[in-house]
């Protein structure tokens, strides 16, 4: 007499069918993802209970040779980049999203040829299940490395060329436009900008928002200096602006680090902030609270960038097709403007 065939566990597709939702929605509910209505969430949870569905990533990994590892790869030249508050919050957000899964996060700084070769070998030998890319510049080799691996890939911030299917971005142009409009409403008309590097989407989009706001106000961009997103770079750019345009009455820096550098140089030059020169940043990182004076800035949800990117990657690994989305920004007014 043959042994009874053990009951096959229910699948994600069967949960979606029972709940009368898409597979993507079912996956989002299971992974505690966003953008699901209360009614659909309740329907999926009911289907899970009725079918006895249990997400079993360990069993799935055994069957498909998944490793249980995802990579966060950063393009940068300083090993201390992971201590930068921006990247630290990206990591916190991604880690938070992965806590309820059995996936482990591996960090990779792949700037040198050796670092890129190591990452390429790691991905192509299936050392990871998926990858998140952040801080890309120009024709970054990390893009090709991820593409050649064939692994699910999520971009944190858009690359310079082409639009990938899966990404999380911030409304950079809208935030810079709002910052410039705030300075204009404060009576400032000689507004300079310290931009980010021109080979980054962030740098270009924040520059675009500044230019658009001035154009709508019937003004031309007053003065531009390119920075590198570092405090030292912001200071150097501010010195150049004071030399070339000593009559400026406001400065928008494309991130808080550069704004902090600009504030230091203005203080050294005897310019009172905001009486003589108003200063705004972008990011709303902890440094914005500790500058003198405290920095008016544009808040971007940095932790949410990492969190939503990790959730998107989990959904891809579960067979879903998540939609890319852009996170909003908001103005935070403090003493500097």
For 292-303, write each residue's pLDDT tens digit: 999 999 999 999
Cα dihedral angle (198, 157, 75, 295), rounded to 10 degrees?
70
- pLDDT tens-digit profile of 168-216? 999 999 999 999 999 999 999 999 999 999 889 999 999 999 999 999 9
Q: Among 118-132, 268-282, 283-297, which stretch is predicted with the lowest mean pLDDT?
A: 118-132
Segment 333-337 shows an average pLDDT of: 97
- pLDDT number for residue 225: 97
Mean pLDDT of the 130-158 span = 87
Residue with tokens 């709508």: 216
Over residues 7-15, mean pLDDT: 78
- Is residue 64 predicted with pLDDT exceeding 60? no
pLDDT tops 50 at residue 63: no
pLDDT at 5 over 50: no
Which carries the bigger pLDDT value, residue 50 or residue 32? 50
Which of 75, 71, 87 has its CA nearest to residue 131?
71
Give the pLDDT score at 299: 97
**Where in 135-181 does DSSP place strands (E)?**
153-156, 167-170
Task: Report the percentage of the chain scoring pLDDT > 70.
Answer: 89
| Diameter of the chain measured on Cα atoms | 95
Contacts of 57 by beta carbon, 8 Å cutoff, 6+ apart:
66, 68, 101, 102, 103
The whole-chain average pLDDT of the chain stands at 87
Higher-confidence position of 119 and 190: 190
Domains recognised in the chain with CATH numbers: 12-55 (1.10.260.40), 67-170+302-327 (3.40.50.2300), 172-299 (3.40.50.2300)
Q: Does residue 197 contact residue 231 with C-beta atoms inside 8 Å? A: no
**Sign of the CA dihedral 207, 293, 181, 185?**
negative
Q: Residue 253 pLDDT > 80, yes or no?
A: yes
How buried is 87 (Cβ within 10 angstroms: 0-12 exposed, 13-18 middle, 19+ buried)? Answer: buried
Q: Flag whether pLDDT at 88 surpasses 90.
A: no
What is the arithmetic mean of pLDDT over 153-182? 93
Confidence grade of residue 55 (pLDDT, cut at 50, 70, 90):
low
* Most confident segment among 115-119, 150-154, 305-309: 305-309
Contacts of 108 (CB under 8 A, 6+ apart): 71, 72, 73, 74, 115, 118, 119, 122
pLDDT band for 162, please (50, 70, 90 cuts): confident
Query: Which of 60-69, 150-159, 188-197, 249-258 is predicted least confidently?
Result: 60-69
pLDDT at residue 2, as a whole number: 44
Q: Ranked by mean pLDDT, which of 29-38, 69-78, 223-232 comes out on top?
A: 223-232
- pLDDT greater than 80 at residue 112: no
Whose tokens are 């403007």? That residue is 337
Structure confidence at residue 163 as a pLDDT band (50, 70, 90): confident
């Amino acid at each position: 007499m043959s042994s009874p065939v053990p009951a096959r566990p229910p699948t994600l597709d069967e949960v979606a069918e029972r709940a009368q939702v898409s597979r993507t929605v079912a996956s989002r509910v299971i992974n505690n993802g966003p953008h699901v209505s209360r009614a659909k969430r309740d329907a999926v949870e009911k289907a899970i209970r009725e079918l006895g569905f249990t997400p079993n990533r360990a069993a799935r990994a055994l069957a498909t040779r998944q490793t249980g590892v995802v990579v966060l790869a950063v393009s940068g030249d300083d090993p201390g980049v992971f201590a930068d508050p921006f990247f630290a919050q990206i990591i916190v957000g991604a880690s938070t999203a992965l806590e309820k899964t059995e996936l482990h996060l591996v960090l990779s700084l792949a700037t040198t040829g050796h670092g890129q070769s190591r990452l390429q070998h790691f991905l192509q030998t299936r050392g990871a299940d998926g990858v998140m890319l952040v801080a890309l510049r120009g024709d970054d080799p990390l893009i090709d490395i991820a593409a050649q691996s064939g692994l699910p890939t999520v971009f944190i911030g858009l690359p310079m060329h082409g639009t990938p299917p899966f990404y999380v971005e911030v409304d950079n142009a809208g935030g810079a436009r709002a910052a410039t409009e705030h300075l204009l409403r404060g009576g400032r008309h000689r507004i300079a900008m310290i931009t980010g590097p021109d080979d980054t989407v962030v740098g270009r989009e924040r520059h675009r928002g500044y230019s658009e706001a001035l154009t709508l106000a019937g003004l031309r961009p007053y003065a531009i200096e390119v920075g590198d997103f570092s405090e030292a770079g912001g200071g150097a750019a501010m010195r150049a602006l004071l030399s070339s345009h000593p009559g400026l009455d406001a400065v928008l820096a494309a991130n808080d680090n550069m704004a902090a550098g600009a504030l230091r140089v203005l203080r050294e030059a005897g310019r009172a902030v905001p009486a003589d020169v108003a200063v705004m940043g972008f990011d709303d990182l902890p440094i914005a609270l500790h500058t003198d004076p405290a920095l008016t800035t544009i808040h971007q949800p940095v932790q949410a960038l990492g969190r939503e990117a990790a959730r998107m990657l989990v959904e891809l690994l579960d067979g879903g097709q998540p939609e890319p989305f852009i996170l909003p920004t908001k103005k935070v007014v403090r003493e500097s403007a």
